[in-house]
Amino acid sequence: MTKKPYCNAPWTGLAYEGTVGCKPCCEWKGPAFKGTYTDYIKSDYLKDFKEMVQQDKMNSGCIECMHDEIDNHVESARLRYQKHDRSKGLAVLDYRADNTCNMKCRMCGPSSSSLLEEEAGITIQRIDTSDVYDLDLSNCEEISILGGEPSIDLKVRKFMKYVAKTYPNIKCVVTTNGTNASDKWFDTLMEFCNGTGLQIILSIDATGDVQDFQRSGGEWSKIKKNILKYKTVSEMPESNCEVSIQCTATALNMTVLDTWWNELLQMNVKVILNPVHQPYDMSIDAIPDENKKQQIEFLKEWIKIVLKPPAKYWKEIKYGQPPSPIDPNIMIDKIASAKAAISIFENSTYSQVANNKFKKLQNHYDKLRDEDITKLDKRFEIIMNGR
C-alpha cells in the first residue's frame, strides 16, 4: 500500500457482537477481541491493530476488501473507511446484540444463529453489550444492525428506537432475512425513514428450493411477498429509504445460478453479490471449471437479452419469464449484478481441497437434517459423487 494507514477502521469503525466481541469492522476475517467495548478501547488488541494497518501490505484477514477491490464491482469497506476523519472518532457502528435467529443457513455458524447453536448442541458464551448505550455517537454517520435476525430480537428493536430518538442524524442500515414483515417491526424501521435515512438489506441468496435449501427455515413464497412489502416502503412519497438484496455467493447457489437468477432479478430490486470467504467449505473455489463456464455463458447471454426489447425477444429467454419493461436505472443495476456474478466466477480458482470441504459439509447437514443436496439439481450429483 502506498498510503498509511491503509485502513481507518481501527479509529472510525466498530463491530460489536454479543457472541463474538469487538473488532474494527465486520469485514475483518481475523480474530476478534473477546470482551466488551469498555475493555476493547483500552486493549493491546486495538493498539496492535492500529500498528498492523501501518504495514506496506494488507493483512490476510482483510481478504474481503482485497477481493472487492480486485472485483471492481463494489466499493470495499476499506475505501469507505478512508473517507472518514480519524480525528472525529467513531463514524460507523456494526451492532449485533445476539445470535437470535429463525434460520439455519448452511454458510452461517452458531455464533450468528441460535438455531445452529442448538442444532450443534453447544452453548456459546455471551458478552454483555449493554455498554453500547455508553458509546458517543455524536459524530457517527451510520449504524448497521444485524444478527442473528434483528427483526425478531427485542434487544435490537430497543437499541434502534434509542438511536432514532437520541441521534436522529444517523443513517440506519438494517440487514434482515426477509422472513418477518410484521407491523411492529415496520413501525421500528419507519422511525428512520423520515430522518437521515434507512437502508434495508435483504439477505436472500436465490429463489425457490435453492433459497430454502441454503437458508433453511425460510419459505420462499412468503419471503417473496415480504420483498414487495419492503420495496413498497422505499417507494412511499418522501420516504428516505432504499432497499437492496444481498446475495451470499456460495458453491451451493452459484452452481445452479441459472435456475433462480431471472426470478430474483425480476423483483426489480438491486442485487449485490458477495462471495463467501468463511467458511471455506462453501467457497466458490469448490465449483468445477466446467460448471463455472456454463454459468458465465448463461449470464453473458442473459445480459444480451436484457438489453433487447423484451416484448420482441421474449422467446429467447430459456429460464423463467422475460424481463418486464423497466426504467434505465434498474436495467443498469441488473446488468451490473450479472457482471459482478461473472467476475466472481472468473476470479475464483478451482480447488480440490475446497471441493472436498464442500462435500463434507453438505453430507454433514444432509445427514443431520434428513436432506439430500443431489435431489436439488442433477449437477450436484456430479460434484458430490463424481458422476
Q: What is the pLDDT of residues 76-86, one digit of tens each?
A: 889 999 999 99
Same domain, 150 and 194: yes
What's the domain range around 305? 283-387
Same domain, 229 and 153: yes
- Whether residue 272 lies inside any domain: the answer is no
SS3 label, residue 81: helix
Burial class of residue 325 in the structure, from the number of CB atoms within 10 Å of its CB (0-12 exposed, 13-18 middle, 19+ buried)? exposed
Same domain, 176 and 94: yes
Within a 10 A sphere around the Cβ of 368, how many other Cβ atoms? Answer: 11
Same domain, 69 and 96: no
Same domain, 136 and 80: no
Same domain, 188 and 238: yes
pLDDT reading at 327 higher than 80: no
Q: Which of 202, 183, 190, 171 is nearest to 239 (CA)?
A: 190
Separation of CA 156 from chain center: 18
CB of 152 closer than 8 Å to CB of 105: no
Same domain, 65 and 105: no
Higher pLDDT, 264 or 278: 264
Same domain, 64 and 197: no
- Whether residue 264 lies inside any domain: the answer is no
Same domain, 108 and 187: yes
Cell of residue 293, nine digits? 463456464
- The pLDDT-based confidence of 309 (bands split at 50, 70, 90) is low
- Whether residue 17 lies inside any domain: the answer is yes
Max CA separation in the chain (angstroms): 65
- The pLDDT-based confidence of 313 (bands split at 50, 70, 90) is very low
197: left (phi over 0), alpha (psi -120 to 50) or beta: left
Same domain, 81 and 213: no
- The 3-state DSSP composition of the chain as helix, strand, coil percent (nearest 5) reads 50, 15, 40
Residues 34-47: pLDDT tens digits?
Answer: 999 999 999 999 99
Q: Which of 256, 258, 249 is nearest to 282 (CA)?
A: 249
Which of 202, 223, 249 is the endpoint of a domain? 249
pLDDT for 2 equals 59
Residues 85-123: pLDDT tens digits?
Answer: 999 999 999 999 999 999 999 999 999 999 999 999 999
pLDDT for 237 equals 79
Same domain, 99 and 69: no
Same domain, 231 and 150: yes
The CATH code of the domain that includes 149 is 3.20.20.70
pLDDT reading at 302 higher than 50: yes
b/e per residue, 9-24, with b = 16+ CB within 10 A? Answer: bbbbbbbbbbbbbbbb
- Whether residue 274 lies inside any domain: the answer is no
Tell me the C-alpha distance between 295 and 338, whole Å: 10
Tell me the C-alpha distance between 148 and 152, whole Å: 9
Least confident range from 156-170, 257-271, 325-339: namely 325-339
Segment 125-141 mean pLDDT: 96
Number of domains in the chain: 3
370: left (phi over 0), alpha (psi -120 to 50) or beta: left
Residues 175-233: pLDDT tens digits?
Answer: 999 999 999 999 999 988 777 889 999 999 999 999 999 999 999 999 999 999 999 98
328 upstream amide cis, omega within 30 of 0: no
Residues 251-264: pLDDT tens digits?
Answer: 999 999 999 999 99
SS3 label, residue 344: helix
pLDDT for 331 equals 85
pLDDT for 154 equals 92
